[in-house]
Amino acid sequence: MKQYLQHNEWLIIEEGWNPANQRISESNFSLGNGRFGQRANFEEDYTGDSLPGNYVAGIYYPDKTRVGWWKNGYPEYFAKVLNAANWIGIRIEIDGVALDLAHCEVRSFRRILHMQHGYLERSFVARMKSGQEVEVKAIRFCSIADDETGAIRYSLKALNFGAKLEITPYIDGDVVNQDANYDEKFWKEVAQHAGTDAGYVLAETKKTAFQVATAMKFGIYVDGKKVEANPYRLEKEKYASCTVQLDLEEGQTVVVEKFAGIVSSLNFEKDQLVGASQGAADRAYELGFDAMLQKQAQAWEAKWAEADIIIEGDVAAQQGIRFNIFQLYQTYTGEDERLNIGPKGFTGEKYGGSTYWDTEAYCLPFYLATADPHVARNLLIYRYKQLGKAIENAQKLGFKDGAALYPMVTMNGEECHNEWEITFEEIHRNGAIAYAIYDFIRYTGEKDYLVDYGLEVLIGIARFWAQRVHFSERKQQYVMHGVTGPNEYENNVNNNWYTNYIAIWCLRYAAEAVDYVKEKAPGKYEALTDRIKFHEYTETGHWKEIYSQMYLPYDEQLGIFVQQDGFLDKDLLTVDDLDASQRPINQKWSWDRILRSVFIKQADVLQGLYFFEDHFKEDAILRNFDFYEPRTVHESSLSPCVHVILASKLGKEEKAYEMYLRTARLDLDDYNNDTEDGCHITSMAGTWMSFVKGFGGLRVYNGRLHLRPFLPSNWTGYSFSIRFRGSFLNIRVNREEVSVKNNSEVVAALVLFGKELELPARGEIKNPLHHTK
C-alpha cells in the first residue's frame, strides 16, 4: 500500500516529485470522456519510467495469442485496446536541450485532479543541467461537453535566464502497446499533414481496419500577446509537428494552447474523418480554452448534482467515493450501445480493455440508479446483439442446439480469453448475463424487455446449462464438473457451489420468462420459438428436472455451503495465519502453492449469497460469512464490495468500514500493488454498490425500493441520490434521523426500515435512525 496522495474532498493531490510513483500517478490522474481518454503522461518529453496511453473507445486489435491457440476451442487472439495517437505532446527545447524531468533537478512538483470540474492541473519548477530554471503550469481535459475534443493550456516561465526556445506541438501516431504479444505495431499510416498552426494524423488498425483521425490546432502567446510565426513543419510516418522558435527573456512567460479533435470510423465514414477531426479542433480553438473549461465545469456539475455521494466526518472515505464515481463517468456514458466498460477504462492496457462479466455483476446497478433507464438498457442490448457470437462460442466447445456461452473476455462477442481454466471453465459468467436481465427488470419494472430481447438470451443460456451438467448415478443428482468459480485461486474443480446455484436459478428464471412471454405476447413468442427452434415442453421439462435435482455441496457440521467438492479437506488456515511479507500471494507464491491453499481470491460462495440473499435466512448468511471471509485475501478488486454489503446486512460495522475503505481507495492507495497498470474501473462501480447497498441498505423487492441505512460510528452523516422508476430521491442520514426527499413529480413506493410508504411528488419523510440494526 502506498499512501502518498493527500486527502481532500474534491481533489486528488500529489505533492513532490518521486519518479517511482509515476506509473501509479499516470493511472490515478487519468482523464476521459466516454469517447476517448488518456493516462496522465506529461506533455513535454519524459524519458523516465512511464506507460504512455491514449485510448479511443471501441477501437481494438486482435493480437495473436502466445499460448494455447493451437488447442481445440481456444481463441486465436486476445483483443487489445490500442494505444492511439498521442495528441498531448508539446516538446520544449531550451538552447537546444529538451525539457525532461528525468534529467532535471525538480525543485517543486504538484499534480492535481479536479474531480468537481473535470480537469488535470500540473505545476513544477525544474533546474536544468545548464542551471536554467523554468516554472511550468499545465491544465488539460477531455471535454464531456463536446466529446470529440480535448484541450491543453501549457505555460512556461523563464525564471533566471533568457534563451532560444523551441516549442513543438505534435501528433504522434507511431505508438506501441507495451502488452503487445509479438512486439508488433498495430497502426499503419493513411495520411498526415502539418500546417502553420495545425496538423493531423490519420491511421488505420491492422486486421480490424478501424480508422482514427487526430487533429490539432494551437496558438502560442508570450506575456499574453499571440506569436505570429512561420513554423518549421515536419511530416513523417504517422507524425505531424510544427516547431516555433522564439527568444524568451528572463521573467517572460510563454503559453501554448493546444486543441485536439479525435474521431473514429465507428462514427464517421472514413473519407469524412480528416474533415471531422479538423472541424472538431477548429471548433474548440474558436471557442477558446477558458470557454471550453467553463463548459466542462458546468457539464461535470450537472453530473455531480445527480450522482454525488456526500460523507461527513471522513475525508479519506469522501475522496475515495468521489474518485470512483468520477472515473466511472469518464469511462462510460451509455449513449452508444456498441460500447461497454473495460476493467481499466481509459487508464491502462491490462485486460485488453475488453468486456468482462464485471459489467453485469457490478456496473449495471450503478447506471440503473444514477442514469436514465436507456443507459442500463444499452448495456443489456450490447449482450443481446452478441447472442449469435455466444452461440458460436458454445459450438466451438462442442455444445449444440442454440446453446449460448457468453465470453469471459470480448470486444465483439467472440471469446478472446486464452487461459484454459478461464475460457473453458469460468462459466458462471453466463449466470451474470441472465442475472443482469433480472436485475434490470426488477429495478425498472420494464418487463417488456423480456418480450423484445431478454427471453431469447435466457433460452440460449438455459440451453447451455442443460448441456453442461450431467447426471451422477452415484449421487442420483445432477452435477457439474471441471469449472472455475469466481475464486480464480481454484481451477478445474467439481461442483462449485456458486456455479451450480446460479445455473439452477438461470434454468428456473428462463422457464418463468417463457411462461410470461407466452401469455403476454403470444404472437412474438410463437415467432421466436419458430426462429430458434425452441421445443417448449421438452426443453422446459428437462430444465425443471435439472433444477429440482441439482447437487449443492453443503456441510451439516459447519452449517455452510461448501465452495466445491473437497474444499474442506484443505489445510483450513485463515489470512491471519499469513505473514504480511507473503502478501499479495499472487505476487509472492507459485501458482501451484496458491491452488493447493485454502485462500480465496474474491467472494465465491458469498457472491451467491449477495446475489440471492432473499433466498437464505440471515443465520445461514452469517455462518458462511464467518467461515469464508477470514480466508479471503481480497486480491481481486471485485472482492471487497460484496463483503461490505453482506457485513452491513449482518451488523458487522467494523468489517464493513474496513472493506469499504479498501474498495474506495483501492487505486488511490495502491492496495494490491498493481495500480501502475491502470485503475480498476469496474470495481469502482462495486464501491458505489458497497455504499448504497451496504450503508444505505438499498434493495428492490416487489416493485418497491427498500432502504435500511446505518451510519458508521466515525461518520457524522452522509447523503446520496438515486433514480427509481421515474422518481429522483435524495437520502440523508445523520446521528438522529434518516430523511428521504422526492425531487421529482413521480410518487415513489418505498419501504423504510420495513414500513411501506408512498412518498408524494416533492415530498419528504423523516424517520429516527434508531430503527437501524
Question: Rounded distance, CA 421 to CA 661, Å?
Answer: 31
| Rounded CA separation 606/174 (Å) | 46
423 neighbors 75 (Cβ within 8 angstroms): yes
Of 263, 159, 172, the C-alpha closest to 211 is 263
Residue 221: strand pairing partners? 226, 255
Radius of gyration, alpha carbons of the chain: 27
Q: In the Cβ-directed half-sphere of 480, how many Cα atoms lie within 13 Å?
A: 31
CB-count exposure of residue 269 (10 Å: 0-12, 13-18, 19+)? exposed
Sign of the CA dihedral running 401, 407, 412, 416: negative
DSSP state of 565: T
Looking at this protein, which amino acid is placed at residue 669? D
Whole-number Å distance between alpha carbons of 528 and 523: 9
Nearest to 325, CA basis, from 300, 351, 357: 300
Residue pointed to by grid coordinates 484443505:
570
Cβ atoms of 648 and 656 closer than 8 Å: yes
Q: Which of 284, 142, 276 has its CA nearest to residue 211?
A: 276
- Is 337 among the catalytic positions? no
CA distance 207 to 228: 43
In terms of DSSP bridges, do strands 748-752 and 704-707 run parallel, antiparallel, or are they unpaired?
Answer: parallel
Task: Please tell me the distance from the alpha carbon of residue 359 to that of residue 682, in angstroms, as a whole number.
Answer: 7
Chain length of the chain: 773
Which residue in the list 257, 360, 415, 488 is annotated as catalytic? 488
Residues annotated catalytic, as ranges? 488
